[in-house]
């Protein structure tokens, strides 16, 4: 029997997160994987069909045992809804973690840490009771994310979460980071440099091949496409300002594929600014539809607000964009900007600079197909070399083995 891994996360299949890949691949490689997660409700804000308080709370998915704690659905994602969502799962996950610690034996705990960071409480509980190593994969910096995403400035709340994060880091055997820029923030919280391992996101297997699923209709002309979460952090205010500057270029179209808390606001602004002919919200499509959807674009774009935390990260969508072989335009400061420029896979401008963003989109529209194709190929080759899933999983196995040999 292989090593027994407890993967702790608030989100798991049918929700689409990278921890799904980890769990199933570890199981395929001979590990015995148990996932402690929540009743799925992201991003719709309500329980997925077939799941509920008394439905499918424990199940096996492709050999992986999945245990789902109670969670209050996040609803529309407002502050109250998110707070109740996070708090309810904190309580239920700790109760289940206590049960698992006393009932089963694990060799390691792996934490998939997106928001909220409180997921670390349940994982640390298992670690302390069973005296096993804990690996903390940081994909979202806290408490910085609270300020950047929802504008929280209360020094007492931020101080509480800063203390909590330091507590998790001290108890982690390794701290895996998805972006190299995270190291600075983590080291500012304590002497954790020796624990840090660069463990970036990877290309989704579903993006490698096209499938026969529905894809959005796009207008004729030059298509600049965005895919993913439509939230406040994605700075669609600046994107729409750029679209206004390009309004006279009727062949240039911004196509927004996805959903999120800010979608209604974006659609209202499109109407209010008279951008119906150039900006198109086409809704959400499954991951399997993305290769064929990407193929309908001429360039893919991403934007984030001018917040210090966003300068430290490379959004996962950048890897997906690169893997598509399409050129990229970003309006993001820091590491993402440097990556795009270093690879030469598109154009990168400063965050919250709609004028520069509009100029970059215009320049891309004026390039030949061959020039854009060359940019896209550079990105695709770089992604294949640096964001390969199999290599990342081998690295993770090495991390597990090093600790077990000590």
Domain definitions of the chain by residue range: 4-202+388-405, 206-386
The pLDDT of residue 269? 96
pLDDT digits (tens, 9 = 90+) for 60-111: 999 999 999 999 998 877 778 888 999 999 999 999 999 999 999 999 999 9
The pLDDT of residue 151? 64
> Exposed, middle or buried by CB within 10 Å (0-12, 13-18, 19+), for 225?
buried
Q: What pTM does this model have? A: 0.80
pLDDT digits (tens, 9 = 90+) for 17-38: 999 999 999 999 999 999 999 9
pLDDT digits (tens, 9 = 90+) for 149-165: 556 666 888 788 889 99
The pLDDT of residue 150? 58
Instruction: Report the helix count and the strand count for the chain, using DSSP H and E.
Output: 14, 14
Provide long-range contacts, Cβ within 8 A and 24+ apart, for 383-386. Answer: 383/203, 383/319, 383/322, 383/323, 384/203, 384/323, 386/200
Residue 282: its H or E element: strand 279-283
The pLDDT of residue 206? 59
What CATH number is given for 206-386 in this structure? 3.40.50.2000
* Same fold? 4-202+388-405, 206-386: yes
φ, ψ of residue 111 in degrees (nearest 5): -105, 125
Three-state DSSP state, 231: coil
Residue 177: its H or E element: strand 174-177
Looking at CATH, the fold of the domain delimited by 4-202+388-405 is given as: Rossmann fold (3.40.50)
Spatial separation of the C-alpha atoms in residues 268 and 233, rounded to whole Å? 18
């Amino acid at each position: 029997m292989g090593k027994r891994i407890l993967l702790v996360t608030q989100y798991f299949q049918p929700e689409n997160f990278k921890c799904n890949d980890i769990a199933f691949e570890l199981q395929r490689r001979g590990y015995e994987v148990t996932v402690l997660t929540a009743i799925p409700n992201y991003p719709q804000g309500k329980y997925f069909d077939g799941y509920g308080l008394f439905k499918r709370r424990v199940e096996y998915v492709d050999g992986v045992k999945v245990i789902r704690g109670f969670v209050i659905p996040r609803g529309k994602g407002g502050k109250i809804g998110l707070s109740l969502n996070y708090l309810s799962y904190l309580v239920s996950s700790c109760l289940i973690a206590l049960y698992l610690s006393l009932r089963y034996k694990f060799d390691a705990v792996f934490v998939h840490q997106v928001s909220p960071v409180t997921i670390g409480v349940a994982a640390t509980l298992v670690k302390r009771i069973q005296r096993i190593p804990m690996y903390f994969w940081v994909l979202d910096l806290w408490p910085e994310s609270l300020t950047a995403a929802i504008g929280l400035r209360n020094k007492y709340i931020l101080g509480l979460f800063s203390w909590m994060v330091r507590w998790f880091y001290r108890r982690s055997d390794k701290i895996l980071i998805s972006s190299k820029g995270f190291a600075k923030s983590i080291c500012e919280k304590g002497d954790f440099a020796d624990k840090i391992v660069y463990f970036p996101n990877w290309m989704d297997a579903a993006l490698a091949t096209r499938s026969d699923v529905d894809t959005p209709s796009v207008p004729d002309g030059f298509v600049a496409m965005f895919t993913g979460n439509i939230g406040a952090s994605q700075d669609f205010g600046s994107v729409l300002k750029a679209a206004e500057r390009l309004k006279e270029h009727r062949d240039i179209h911004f196509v927004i594929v996805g959903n999120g808390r800010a979608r209604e606001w974006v659609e209202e602004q499109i109407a209010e600014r008279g951008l119906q002919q150039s900006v198109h919200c086409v809704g959400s499509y499954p991951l399997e539809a993305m290769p064929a959807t990407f193929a309908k674009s001429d360039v893919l774009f991403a934007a984030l607000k001018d917040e210090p935390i966003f300068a430290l990260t490379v959004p996962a969508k950048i890897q997906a964009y690169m893997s598509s072989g399409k050129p990229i335009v970003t309006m993001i400061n820091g590491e993402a900007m440097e990556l795009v420029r270093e690879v030469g896979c598109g154009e990168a401008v400063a965050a919250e600079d709609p004028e520069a963003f509009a100029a970059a989109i215009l320049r891309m529209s004026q390039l030949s197909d061959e020039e854009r194709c060359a940019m896209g190929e550079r990105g695709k080759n770089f992604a294949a070399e640096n964001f390969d899933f199999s290599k990342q999983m081998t690295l993770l196995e090495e991390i597990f083995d090093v600790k077990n040999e000590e």
